[in-house]
Amino acid sequence: MQTKHPPLIPQLWEEGDTLLIDKPLQWTSFDVVNKLKHKIKHLSGQRVKVGHAGTLDPLATGLLIVCVGPKTKQIDQIQNADKTYIAKIRLGQTTASYDAETPVLEEKSTSHLNLESIKEALKPFDGLIEQVPPAYSALKINGKPAYKMARKGQAVELTKREILISNIEIISFENPVLELSISCSKGTYIRSIAHDLGGKIGVGAHLNGLIRTKIGTYHLQDAWNLNELIACF
């Protein structure tokens, strides 16, 4: 990770700023926003608008863009940009959340899989596709977040949505772990890609690690460590 960053704008709460942050594991995106909001309020003595431009799940790390003050007007524009991820997928195990948040529901052998079979299974995931978001997501059903209903064991039905996968390629495959680079449009759930790929292969799968490396023209290599950023205020 780069150690040199552009200097923070003096009194950034007045002029506004766009902060690139490497989100820590187990933190929610709102945890990061609240941490910065409280720090800025302490320094400025006033409430300042702070918001993130695209959620990352607690079990994901990588690029989180936080906008401060007048720069919050750019959030929608940044959110609409394409994103790039590095995804680690555990083949042969399914979970209700499509990631490692919930226990393994079913396990199947992956000993018969090889690189060629993986490449063949990935072909339908390239381009414009339809995807059903995970039940464990923040999408709302009748005003209630789907994940809250799912955690209570309630039935969750989410409709398909059209997304664009502009690039999907294999970084490595060490059975049963597959590592992919995925560039995609707004609204793409990498957890659903993992789940659907496991179904396509016939052994099931879940997302076991996720790093967001790019949003539009912004790169993870230019992001701050959160603690180092806070120390610079």
Q: So where are the chain's domains? A: 12-80+216-232, 83-215
Q: Is residue 190 scored above 90 in pLDDT?
A: yes
76-87 confidence digits (pLDDT tens): 999 999 999 999
Query: What would the mean pLDDT of 184-210 be, rounded to a whole number?
Result: 97
**Predicted pLDDT of residue 43:** 79
pLDDT at 6: 58
Q: Given a cut of 80, is residue 9 above it in pLDDT?
A: no
CATH topology of domain 83-215: Pseudouridine synthase (3.30.2350)
Helix, strand, coil tally for the chain in percent (to 5): 30, 35, 35
More confident position, 131 or 15: 131
- Res. 2 pLDDT band, cuts 50 70 90: very low
* Mean pLDDT within 129-151: 88
Fold match, 12-80+216-232 / 83-215: yes
Catalytic residues: 57
Query: Which has the closest alpha carbon to 178: 123, 115, 229?
Result: 115
pLDDT of residue 11: 66
Q: Does the pLDDT of residue 1 top 50, yes or no? A: no
pLDDT in tens, 45-78: 888 899 999 999 999 999 999 999 999 999 999 9
pLDDT of 95 higher than 50: yes
- For residues 135 and 99, is the Cβ–Cβ distance under 8 A? no
Choose between 147 and 2: higher pLDDT: 147
**144-178 tens-digit pLDDT:** 888 889 888 888 888 999 999 999 999 999 999 99
Length of the chain: 233
pLDDT at 126: 95
Neighbours of 59 (CB within 10 A): 16
- pLDDT interval class at 141 (50, 70, 90): confident
CATH topology of domain 12-80+216-232: Pseudouridine synthase (3.30.2350)
**Could you give the angle at the alpha carbon of 190 between the alpha carbons of 186 and 196, nearest 5°?**
120
Taking alpha carbons only, the member of 65, 135, 70, 74 closest to residue 105 is 135
